[in-house]
Chains A and B, each alone.
Chain A
Amino acid sequence: MTTAVRVGMSTCGLAAGAQAVYDALTAGGDGLVVGRTGCLGACHREPLVEVADGTETMLYGPVSVEQVPALLAHVRGVADGALPEVVSRRPDRSDYPYLGRQVKVTTQLCGVIDPYSLDDYLAHGGYEALRQALATPPGEVIEAITASRLRGRGGAGFPTGVKWGISRDQDVGPKFIICNADEGDPGAFMDRTMIEGDPHRVLEGMLIAAHAIGASKGYIYIRAEYPLAVERLATAIGQAREYGTAGDDVLGSGMSFDFVIKEGAGAFVCGEETALMRSIEGYRGMPTMRPPYPSEQGLWGHPTNINNVETYASVPSIVLEGPDWFAGMGTDNSGGTKAFALAGAIENSGLVEIPIGMTLREMIYDIGGGCRDGRAFKAVQLGGPSGGCIPAELLDTRIDYEDLKETGAIMGSGGMIVADETTCMVDIARYFLAFTQDESCGKCVPCRVGTRKMLNVLTAATEGRAAQSDLDRLRSLCDTVHRTSLCGLGQTAPNPVLTTMRYFEDEYEAHVADKECPAGVCGMGGGS
């Protein structure tokens, strides 16, 4: 049998030099089938190269161009030079602890199939769920989604089946489906990885949703900063049209549905659903008041179901494996798995998919391998600028919507940034707030001006200019901004501040009372 070689060629792989490795393998590998695949999730080991010769399935990484000749020689049975480090020897990678604790549902084919190949997707059961769903009455599909306890993976966690049901119940046509792929949290790359690795799964999820609620058009709102994802998505949509899973009469079911890719223009706030819809409508992306909710009056005033990439990617498996299987993986109030972009001061960074209910400790130590360079763990930030910091003493918190909320953080869309002892928590709050302030759309005062005033206090604190009264003012301002902002961006902007103040009050005290930064990060007045 021929030896099949596959190179991980998503953005993380390419950034690590996968293109050169791929080119070298193709050039030197007479008789070799060199293929591409997406990200396996082990971004810290990229570029990854898998070599399968029928007897064993070796995963190497990181692989450098210089190591390619040795690898090629080894494939031909010749030993010539040092081989790259081996990541795994088994096809199921059960010998790789990073992957061992994970449960892959939405990312099950990322790093497995060629994202440019519809045949590859079909060979792995692709569009089978759609076939089954189309043969099922829409009401039953929605019941199954509800029973699976799937909740919105964008972070707010609204029950997906309930949302679909509301759109379904509207008797105004046409209806729309939107896939929110405007992933903007700093350090988050779940959507990108899923679309780059397995674009058809997202389309399939949207198609099932369209069948369930009776929609005729689907918009995928994706950041323009993800050119590779856009390209792979566009390719997949073209293939779907040709294959018959998009366009008129999808798979002979009589349903008409087509996709439109709408690239964002770089505004973080367009990840907020009402702003996203304004942007699709051709206006400046600015949030509008809810209600009306999109399910009732969304795009151009029509019922619109909006979910994020991961939510749609969960759907085909629920249809195929059944709601009980999915619900069985999670907690009492939330089924299934959740993907996280594990980043920051962590040993093993990458895309991690775990069953809901796993503790933060398992996540960070068993999968993430703890902090880099043996430094001490300090906190983990979930949910990006809308989320909060969780300190070491709460590491046994379960990863679940409700449990996380109790800590002051949120589940979020999957950003998980680890901070170690060298991180200043005042500074990190300042960083997130500066981000929110920059991205405020300018429409409502608490967000536009309130976050600015909050930022001013934090900046003053990191420069040794803040007084205790400023901190009191900061606290009350957090409350006003949280309670009166128009959209989620402003309402959640205080979270990083509130959680750091709650768990790291001593650091704030040190900055304000002693004009000192315990972590040694803040310049405290620029050295004066």
Chain B
Amino acid sequence: MTAITIDGREFVFDDGATVMEVALANGIDVPRLCYHPELTPSGGCRLCVVEVEGRPNPVPACGLACEEGLVVATSTEALTAMRRDILDLFVSEHPLACETCDANGACDLQSLADRFGITETTFDTEVPRALLQDDNAFFVRDHQYCILCGKCVRVCTEVVGRNAIDYAGRGFESHIATPFDGIMVDSSCVFCSSCVQVCPTAALLPKPRLEVGRSWAVTPKRTVCGYCGVGCSVEYLVDGEGAIVDAQGFPEAPVNGEFLCVKGRSGWDFVSSPERLDRPLIRRDLAHELGLSDEPWEMPDTSPLQARKPDYFVPVDWDTALDVVADRLAGTVRAHGPDTVAGLASARCTNEENYVFQKFLRAGLGTNNVDHCARLCHASTVTGLGTAFGSGAMTNSIRGIRDADCILITGSNTSEAHPVISYEVVRAVNGGASLVVIDPRRIPITDHATLFLQPRPGADIYVFLAMMHVIIREGWADAAFIEERTEGYDELAGGVAEYTPEVAALASGVPAELIEQAAHLYAKGRRREMFGDGNGSTPQRGRSSILYAMGITQRSNGTELVLALADLAMLCGQIGKPSTGVNPLRGQANVQGACDLGGLPNVLPGYQKVEDPERREAMAAAWGCGPLPDRPGLTIVEMMRAAEAGDVKAMYVMGENPMLSDPNLAHVEASLRSLDFLVCQDVFLSETAQLAHVVLPAAASLEKDGTFTNTERRVQMLYPVVAPPGQARPDWEITQDLARRVDERLGRGDTGLWGLGSTAEIMDEIATSTPSYGGMSHERLVGDGLVWPCPTPDHPGTPVLHTETFARGLGKFHAVEARLPAEQPDEEYPLVLSTGRILYHYHTGTMTRRSEGLTWREPRGYAEVNAVDAEAAGIGDGRPVLIRSRRGEIRTQARVSDRVPPGVVFLAFHWKEAPANLLTQDFALDPQAKIPEFKVSAVRISKPPVKRGEADA
């Protein structure tokens, strides 16, 4: 046992611990201003100096490593005098005019001055940095309060990886600045406000809090962010009126620690938008038909994508609305059979709500026609990893990424779509890990890459196969792992034999040498060269982790691509251990949970196949209902086709917006219009809801309780932060209320199926019917939550999958063939369109485009076009561009950029005025996963004809 003595008490310490860490962990409050547990110690504030026996001068505790027998005093008269002197110097630059300061009550300098009895400086007061920079929508930089602790600089460099700010100037003129003292938008800042988070004074203040957000005027309320699938915990600050004033991170958050991205930190204001739905609505033609309105009305054929402020609805009360919906759904079932009804569950609703929703479709309406947008993102993950490993989810934990030796990112724009996971990658790279990025676009994380492989869109499969070819050829495979844990190796080895790096280079445009280097780094888990292999001179295998997302899955060969990544990991034994694995990054807050809890047409909750009579019967028994439907239902794209063909007549859409998110929107619109009845349950009148007959107002995730399951399978509690607007209700309540009414109309009476009184009760039912959630209850989920599989109430959860055996027993190799995307560019459509997200917006923009700050940063749509293509088409940067595919045409602004290579155009799918999905195709689906090929469509670009009154530049 190794111990040190601090202030006369003995403490044991872990290897590598500092005196500061041990002191703080044991309640010794060492004075400090520049220290942050997540950042490299700086030693700049000098307040944490302590006396060490045998050393002449005091030493900062933050940088002092524990050694056996060290004797430290943190509080002596001499130290106090010294600290008073130092605080005196601080205060000479930063007068304690606290009453007028926005950080009053939440300022570290203020509380330290208080602790040491400093009220004013004994030196001459000189404020060297009297500059207020108010140049963005998120925070102000008030330099007069800056004490140059440098925490903002370190968090930007060490965690966020943007290096947007640093110290500038010298001596008394030192200050924190963006390059050349410019404004924030001209820097590499991503407005995550992590700098604001760590600022100890009022030098960096969130704009929403100015004047109104004094610490005593707000109440902190914690819940999980409703945006992407990372599952960050956020602390919202709520004022006396019950309105959110601001949001911030907090250190105990299990996934994100203290740090957030711009959406999580600043994108909450949509909740109080005046456009929120607050009453049930019935379309005017239906209202007239039902005698609820005197005015006859006909639905116009204006596309929701073009409609400005549609006035199609009349408000009604809940009973009226739900009765109409129940009448229509029950009527359709009775008249045409259960399978003419379909429902879309939601990746933005809670586990409890998705569970109730699919239960309603299956047990209430009698159909398996339930799907949701996971179909459009990670369906190929579920099929691919399910086949290879037996479980279709992220194999490892988010926190484990920082300890990887090599990270391979492919088809994931991590920094923009999963920013907080990119922080993990940045930490790993800063610590010496190598990073291999394989992506057709020069995405931001490429700035940190050791190797960047840029295949032509769709040709990445050649790179993966050639990497495996090289690994086998060079003997870098993990023979023992293959032997003990897998099957089908010979088939794989035979399959990749023909894919030499040279073949792959020709097909993908990636130099053979780069493929070989990438294979080496990944297979051996090599760290960056400058840092050695991290294991001294032992050529031991390091830990390699694969991160991927929709660049892999949204492809007509998505399942095969996922299988290839699974092959790669198994080949090198890079799975089943911490900081390794195959990690699909899921895109929406609860897309994992919506899949887990049966929001899919072929499986019941817990991925139990609907064709399996035993599972079906067990589920029916758990629910207490009659036989469940045994035929897999329709997937999203199939539902749209069926609707157009008249085979699906009524749809129930909960919190989804296919009118922007699905491929080939012209077809989606035609399909939705051909329905007899469409009911949408949402927080806003989305493009889809505009086509609905009835619209039901739902509570947003910030307004209700329940659970979300994040991308690493962590089930976390949500807590209501604000009250829902008007009559809006949580989705689970609406669905149960509706189900009861449907039961009545189908002559079942009170089945007792829909009487769950709280989300906690729903979770208890989930635990009885869903094996991987079997050990969960809201009580257990408080705090850090639980990572499934968690089968029993005493099970601790499973952060790393497949450690001893794969979920399916042996891991299975699959020899896949290289297949190119279905729609290849040709003379008429010579460019490839790729779609995705940008940092500042999310999905179809219903939430982010109603956020003031996010909209300030990126107000409207744009397409990334390479300079070569822009010049050929005569299009300038920031000028309008027409993009046409075989499905349609859109007009947007060109952003001429080297992020896309020549021949590639990138368009985010957030913009209803320039909907990317008017251009994408829905004919080529992955044969197993049924996912459409969003990532590759053939297009052409042109300069739009000059409109009247528009000057041509």
Contact = CB atoms under 8 A, between A and B. Distances in A.
A300 B89 CA distance: 33
B171 A443 contact: no
A360 interface: no
B532 A174 contact: yes
A379 B89 CA distance: 32
A172 interface: yes
B170 A453 contact: no
B169 interface: yes
A441 B124 contact: no
B46 A446 contact: yes
Contacts of B41: 289
Given A446-B46, A453-B92, A289 B171 contact: no
Interface in A298-319: 300-302
B170 A289 contact: no
Nearest to B431: A301
Given A448-B172, A452-B172, A453-B123, A443 B89 contact: no
Contacts of A451: 171
B167 A441 contact: yes
Contacts of B147: 445
B82 interface: yes
Nearest to B49: A484
B44 interface: yes
A288 interface: yes
A446 to B, nearest CB: 6
A120 interface: no
B784 interface: no
Nearest to B41: A289
B95 interface: no
A505 interface: no
Given A443-B42, A445-B86, A449-B89, A284 B432 contact: no
Interface stretch (A45-53, A328-336, A432-440): A432-440
Contacts of A301: 432, 531
Given A172-B536, A300-B530, A483-B57, A438 B89 contact: no
A450 interface: yes
Contact of B148 (A437, A448, A476, A480): A448
A449 B49 contact: no
A446 B83 CA distance: 11
A276 to B, nearest CB: 16
A444 interface: yes
Contacts of B126: 452
B44 A443 contact: yes
A477 interface: yes
Given A289-B63, A301-B432, A445-B45, A171 B171 contact: no
Contacts of A439: 170-171
Interface in A437-475: 437-446, 448-453, 456, 473
Contacts of A302: 530-532
A486 interface: yes
Interface in A265-315: 267, 269, 283-284, 286, 288-289, 291, 300-302
A54 interface: no
B90 interface: yes
Interface string A93-127: 00000000000000000000000000000000000
Given A173-B532, A480-B82, A444 B45 contact: yes
B140 interface: no
A286 B86 contact: no
Nearest to B148: A442
Contacts of A289: 41-43, 60, 62-63
A445 B124 contact: no
B82 A483 contact: yes
Contacts of A174: 530, 532
B537 interface: yes
Nearest to B46: A484
Given A172-B536, A288-B43, A301-B432, A445 B90 contact: yes
Interface residues of A, number: 40
A456 B125 CA distance: 11
A171 B150 CA distance: 33
Contacts of B124: 453, 456
B208 interface: no
A485 to B, nearest CB: 8
Interface string A155-177: 00000000000000001111000
B89 A437 contact: no
A78 to B, nearest CB: 58
B796 interface: no
Nearest to A174: B532
Interface in B44-68: 44-46, 49, 57-58, 60, 62-63, 65
Contact of B89 (A288, A446, A473): A446
Contact of A437 (B122, B172, B536, B537): B172
Given A171-B536, A448-B148, A441 B86 contact: no
Nearest to A453: B123
A483 B531 CA distance: 35
A230 B891 CA distance: 56
Contacts of B530: 174, 300, 302
Interface string B102-131: 000000000000000000001110100000
B764 interface: no
B946 to A, nearest CB: 47
A57 B171 CA distance: 51
A284 B58 CA distance: 26
A359 to B, nearest CB: 29
Contact of B170 (A267, A444, A445): A267
B725 to A, nearest CB: 49
Contacts of B531: 300-302
Interface in B148-182: 148, 150, 166-167, 169-175
Contacts of A438: 170-171
Nearest to A484: B46
B93 interface: yes
A484 B171 contact: no
Nearest to B94: A449
Contact of B171 (A291, A452, A486): A452
B85 interface: yes
B44 A445 contact: yes
Given A267-B170, A439-B170, A439-B171, A484 B532 contact: no
A440 B128 CA distance: 14
B65 A291 contact: yes
A299 to B, nearest CB: 9
Nearest to B45: A445
A440 B57 contact: no
B43 A477 contact: no
Interface in B68-107: 82, 85-86, 89-90, 92-93
Contacts of B89: 445-446, 449-450, 453
Contact of B86 (A452, A473, A476, A480): A480
A450 B508 CA distance: 60
A485 B49 CA distance: 10
B51 to A, nearest CB: 11
A276 B648 CA distance: 71
Nearest to B432: A301
Contact of B46 (A173, A283, A445): A445
A300 B167 CA distance: 20
A466 to B, nearest CB: 12
**The 8 residue pairs across chains A and B that have the minimum distance between CB atoms:** A442-B174, A289-B63, A289-B43, A449-B89, A443-B44, A480-B85, A440-B171, A484-B46
28 contacts: A172-B532, A173-B537, A174-B530, A284-B166, A289-B60, A301-B531, A302-B530, A437-B172, A438-B170, A439-B170, A440-B171, A440-B174, A441-B167, A441-B170, A441-B174, A442-B148, A442-B167, A443-B148, A444-B43, A444-B44, A445-B90, A445-B148, A448-B148, A451-B171, A452-B171, A453-B89, A480-B85, A484-B85
Given A302-B530, A480-B85, A484-B82, 11 more contacts: A267-B170, A283-B166, A284-B166, A286-B167, A288-B42, A291-B63, A440-B170, A443-B148, A444-B44, A445-B44, A476-B85
